[in-house]
Amino acid sequence: MNLQLLRGRDLRPPSRRDRTRPVAVPGTQEQNGKTKVEATQPEAPARKTGLRFPVGTETKAFYRRFYPDTTTAEWNDWRWQLRTRIRTLPELERVFELSSDERQAVGGHTGPLPVGITPYYTSLMGLSDATEPLRRTHIMTGDEYIRLPGEEDDPLGEDHDTVVPGLVHRYPDRVLFLTTGTCSTYCRYCTRSRLVGNPGGEYQFNVRNWDKALAYLEEHSEVRDVLLSGGDPLTIGDDKLDYLLGRLRAIKHIEFVRIGTKVPVVLPQRVTKDLVKMLKKHHPLWMSIHFTHPKELTPEVTESTSRLADAGIPLGSQTVLLKGINDTPAVITPLMHGLLQRRVKPYYLYQCDPIKGSGHFRTSVQAGLDIIQALRGHTTGYATPMFVIDAPGGGGKILMAPDFVVGRDGDDLLIRNFEGKVYRYPDPGSTLGSDKSPPVQAAAE
Ligand code: SF4
């Protein structure tokens, strides 16, 4: 082959086949019809491709099948993803084989917390398996209509602590700022199910209310920390979000702003170059990202989290424990490991709040303690989140941890390590553990 030809071949842009070479969706393998969860290595982020996102193999197969006239550019456009969300029964039926339970539940739904799933997130779901974990979190079933004792519309009593519309001031130095009622996808176990996805309903979110909240914050110099939530703040356009962050940063006593979001997971394409450039202007800015399952750790999510981390935004995760979905160490451990690989610190593991119709999602507190027990000492400390119950009625987050204090023997505190072995720690003058009577054998070890 002559040099010219060789050069010509080298300089040729990569073929469509090369450019779109499938990338395996990490974290899952189909085996005998069952999904096996594995620890995942993140794909290298698509640095050289500028604004383009990688598209996972299953996702690509999905969109070619269900959106054949859609270009990759459209698919990777977050506004297209939002516009094209699956929201109605016919739209669900076009993609999913619905069970009669799902069909009836969706057909009978009215009010807030509608069905809404981005095409991208749909591509990760089991289309013919109603028990698939991500699908269960987003398509309602009849269980959602069952209200059990102790379940409330507003279990955390946020409405009680609302000082102006959309601003919850419970703790002295920090506030919760509910910016919008819109989410890119609607989780069936949402703590704020009473107020999301219901424009024109009881709760109103608009710039006029933002301005009232900002005026309150300007007057309250004890507030140093603002958590933006909703709804999902990253569904707001760049200009409006820039305005809000700019106004907050201009208040001298506000030291710290956090954004709580699920967007980088369910609509990763929203994390555009323009968005991160705008966010960078408002440091110190932190972000808590809502993850549920290792299936979410796709090449797209590797890209969205990389862009945010590269913009200097510290990333933490929050995960709600859900019965039969993620309430075992076998699911949570690879999720925590995959998050660390993507520079997301596992932060909170939440016991599911007792919202109305959540009984089928709520697992036992013991299941959460067992997960922490399986993580603590068995893997990197950074991979162990805090397991908390948000106390119903507005009591705030209460840390739950396995009990590592076995008892006391005189001046020695008897403590148990991750392997169950008991050790002595000299702790003279304390009474900690004295109310426990350790087994004689354990005390002697
Ligand atoms: S993204 Fe967050 S606010 Fe929106 S439905 Fe899910 S849990 Fe609720």
Q: pLDDT tens digit string along 168-213?
A: 999 999 999 999 999 999 999 999 999 999 888 888 899 999 999 9
Mutate to test the pocket of ligand 1, among 154, 156, 187, 289 (most ligand atoms within 8 A of CB): 187
Ligand 1 atom at shortest distance from the alpha carbon of 320: 7
H or E element: which one contains 37?
strand 34-37
pLDDT tens figures, 360-419? 999 999 999 999 999 999 999 999 999 999 999 888 999 999 999 999 999 999 999 999
Contact 232, 262 (CB under 8 A): yes
77 is catalytic: no
174 is catalytic: yes
Could you list the beta-strand ranges (E) of 156-261: 162-164, 167-171, 174-178, 225-229, 256-261
216 is catalytic: no
187 is catalytic: yes
Q: Ligand 1 centre and the CA of 95: distance in Å?
A: 22
Q: Ligand 1 centre and the CA of 179: distance in Å?
A: 13
Q: Ligand 1 centre and the CA of 308: distance in Å?
A: 20
Write down the residue that tokens 């140093």 correspond to: 224
Write down the residue that tokens 């002559």 correspond to: 2
Q: Ligand 1 centre and the CA of 113: distance in Å?
A: 9
User: What are the extents of the domains in the chain?
Assistant: 147-400, 405-444
Query: Pick the catalytic residue: 154, 232, 327, 353?
Result: 353
pLDDT tens figures, 51-96? 578 999 999 999 999 999 999 999 999 999 999 999 999 999 999 9
Please determine, for residue 12, whether its predicted confidence score (pLDDT) is greater than 60: no
83 is catalytic: no
Residue 97 is encoded by which pair of tokens?
A: 């084989």
342 is catalytic: no
Q: In the structure, which protein residues have their CB atom closer than 6 angstroms to any atom of ligand 1? A: 183, 186-187, 190, 192, 196, 230-232, 262, 290
Cis before 231? omega within 30: yes
189 is catalytic: no
Contact 293, 319 (CB under 8 A): no
Ligand 1 atom at shortest distance from the alpha carbon of 266: 1
pLDDT score of 48: 43
CA nearest to 59, candidates 298, 292, 307, 290: 298
Please determine, for residue 39, whether its predicted confidence score (pLDDT) is greater than 60: no
Please determine, for residue 36, whether its predicted confidence score (pLDDT) is greater than 70: no
Q: Ligand 1 centre and the CA of 187: distance in Å?
A: 5
Contact 148, 359 (CB under 8 A): yes
pLDDT score of 24: 37
Q: Which residue CA neighbors atom 3 of ligand 1 most closely? A: 231
Contact 348, 318 (CB under 8 A): yes
pLDDT tens figures, 265-296? 999 999 999 999 999 999 999 999 999 999 99
Mutate to test the pocket of ligand 1, among 118, 144, 190 (most ligand atoms within 8 A of CB): 190
Please determine, for residue 35, whether its predicted confidence score (pLDDT) is greater than 50: no
pLDDT score of 74: 95
Query: Pick the catalytic residue: 171, 382, 423, 425?
Result: 171
Ligand 1 atom at shortest distance from the alpha carbon of 230: 3
First-to-last C-alpha distance (Å) of the chain: 77
Q: How far, in Å, are 187, 364, 370, 400, 432 from residue 387 at the CA level?
A: 20, 13, 11, 5, 22
Q: Would you state the CATH architecture of domain 147-400? A: Alpha-Beta Barrel (3.20)
CA atoms of 432 and 445, how far apart (whole Å): 19
171 is catalytic: yes
Ligand 1 atom at shortest distance from the alpha carbon of 186: 5
Where b means 16+ CB within 10 Å and e means fewer, 204-227 reads ebeeebbeebbebbeebeebeebb
